[in-house]
A and B are shown apart, each in its own frame.
Chain A
């Protein structure tokens, strides 16, 4: 908020009135648009073969939600998503730390190959990696999703950690070495904890990306949430597709927003502790 005031003066009575008018008009336009979308969705549709589908808000489009089997299936899909995401997050952290230390290694023999590998993984679609692991390692869909996500996000977290370590004052490392710690212990005990705290927002944001990307499992036939929706609509009929989609979106938003929220909280706590 404080940055936004950079651009303009504190509003006077005239500007406040204008701002109020824009607010009212904007809100009305948005509400109108939403109402129009809701109305369009509610219209019954006649298909080419003369079959009439009732409107989206018709009870017959929502009655599946009363079926416990649907909820069981959705819960299983959500569990598969969370399981893959959690496993991949742990992997991504480990790989990220290894990449960061590798890129900062003293010896060129380690540094240069790691830099090339990192660049390669960062420039590749995760989906292509999943397909590669699925076909070449024949590991099954779960491990294809997990390993591809761990490697790809590990590369990005590695870059973030490296940037965090590089941005620390030179004195940190010098102080560590001068009290007799080995270079490795200096990195682990002095530099890494600081870089980690500093980069926590970036890392958490990347974890949300990872969570969202588990939905790519849909394409490589891993039975996560998005795939579950597809399966359910195949089973119950396409007229329920919108309903199922809405359920899936809600579940994803709940998971992602809570991870973001946890991220913000941990960052605040970590920031408070470091200033103490």
Chain B
């Protein structure tokens, strides 16, 4: 345990880096995911096709290979290498985006047909139907699965530790190399930091899910 308290500074800065990857990666994934989900439900057939192809393709690529591309392959192609943190954040955002898109889409599809029919029958356009009637209802159903996506993202940030980003996992790894005798204490301590993010998020998701169920 002592090792952990002696190196609290390093662990905390690793934790902050994990949070940074989570927040910026999450925002990026939301932006891409929203775009893809919109394309996926749009009336234009070809846009739906692009979005479906993107989702299927990216969902089946391992995160390790995506980060491998960002860290090792991309610098060989572009002239100047951005910092590893930025590369990892972009990789995480791309990897998470199809899951966000799927969560959004299933929420929109979960809104009863009658709602959209009623909206159209009073003469609202596609945009109005979506923003005034469907999305506000879909949002409530979307939040629990979306939180689950972000929980997964939290855990996935650890992969960035394998690609030169000094977040919690890499910090843990460095510490275990330094203090071979305190491996269990170090890893258990770092696990607590992950659980500090994931467990509350899971509880919030569960609570919202319960509330939504009552509303329906």
Contact = CB atoms under 8 A, between A and B. Distances in A.
Contacts of A80: none
B202 A123 contact: yes
Interface stretch (B6-14, B23-31, B126-134): B126-134
Nearest to B113: A6
Interface stretch (A171-179, A191-199, A250-258, A268-276): A250-258
Interface in A27-73: 27, 30, 40-41, 45, 53, 56
Contact of B46 (A7, A15, A22, A233): A22
A26 interface: yes
Contacts of B68: 218, 226, 229-230, 245
B122 interface: no
A132 interface: yes
A257 B60 contact: yes
Interface in B167-203: 169, 172-173, 176, 183-184, 187, 190-191, 194-195, 198-199, 202
B155 interface: yes
Nearest to B110: A3
Contacts of B161: 127, 219
A248 B173 CA distance: 27
Interface string B44-60: 11111010000011001
A23 B45 CA distance: 7
Given A7-B130, A215-B65, A127 B60 contact: no
Contact of B63 (A19, A215, A233, A241): A215
Given A19-B45, A128-B158, A242 B202 contact: no
A26 B65 contact: no
Contact of B48 (A4, A56, A208): A4
A26 B53 CA distance: 14
A140 interface: no
Interface residues of B, number: 57
Contacts of A6: 109, 111, 113, 116-117
Contacts of B198: 122-124
A128 B172 contact: yes
Interface string A197-217: 000000000001000111110
A236 interface: no
A218 B161 CA distance: 12
Contacts of B154: 125
Contact of A242 (B57, B77, B157): B77
B199 A216 contact: no
A126 interface: yes
Contacts of A218: 64, 68, 162
A27 B46 contact: yes
Contacts of A229: 68
B61 A252 contact: yes
B199 A124 contact: no
Contacts of B63: 212, 215
Interface in A216-246: 216, 218-219, 226, 229-230, 233, 238-239, 241-242, 245
B46 A23 contact: yes
A257 to B, nearest CB: 6
B15 to A, nearest CB: 13
Given A122-B198, A253-B57, 4 more contacts: A6-B113, A128-B158, A215-B62, A219-B64
27 contacts: A3-B109, A7-B43, A7-B134, A9-B120, A15-B43, A19-B44, A22-B47, A27-B46, A122-B202, A123-B155, A124-B191, A124-B195, A126-B155, A127-B161, A128-B158, A128-B190, A131-B172, A135-B187, A212-B63, A213-B62, A215-B63, A216-B159, A219-B64, A219-B159, A226-B65, A245-B68, A252-B60
Interface of A: 3-4, 6-9, 11, 15, 19, 22-23, 26-27, 30, 40-41, 45, 53, 56, 119-120, 122-128, 131-132, 135-136, 208, 212-216, 218-219, 226, 229-230, 233, 238-239, 241-242, 245, 248-249, 252-253, 256-257, 260
